[in-house]
Amino acid sequence: MQIRPVTPRTPEGCEECLRLGTPWVHLRLCRTCGHVGCCDSSPMRHARAHAFAIEHAIVRSFEPGERWSWCYFDEVYV
């Protein structure tokens, strides 16, 4: 199953951007493992890269007040 209860691995920002010192626009939370990555509007697009590298397709917005989820593989809201 792709969707599980998860704890964000880095509640303060995108895991890779924090390591690299790069900026992000918005954050996405992997609903399979808790990876926090940056959105497609961000320069590095780490959430999408994680989805395809690890095959964890479904993320939810990790922005305050937003409650939607997205499937990268099917390009649809969940």
The 10s digit of each residue's pLDDT in 33-60 is 999 999 999 999 999 999 999 999 999 9
The answer to whether residue 36 is domain-embedded is yes
How is the beta sheet containing 58-61 ordered, strand by strand?
A: 36-38, 27-30, 58-61, 69-71, 76-77
Instruction: Quote the domain boundaries for residue 67.
Output: 15-77
Query: What does the pLDDT read at residue 71?
Result: 97
By the 10 Å C-beta count (0-12 exposed, 13-18 middle, 19+ buried), 12 is classed as exposed
Total tally of structural domains belonging to the chain: 1
Report if residue 8 sits inside a domain: no
- Answer yes or no: is pLDDT of 4 > 90: yes
What is the pTM assigned to this prediction? 0.95
pLDDT of residue 45: 98
Give pLDDT, residue 1.
58
Residue 7 domain flag? no
Q: What is the CATH number of the domain that holds 33?
A: 3.30.40.10
The mean pLDDT of the chain is 96
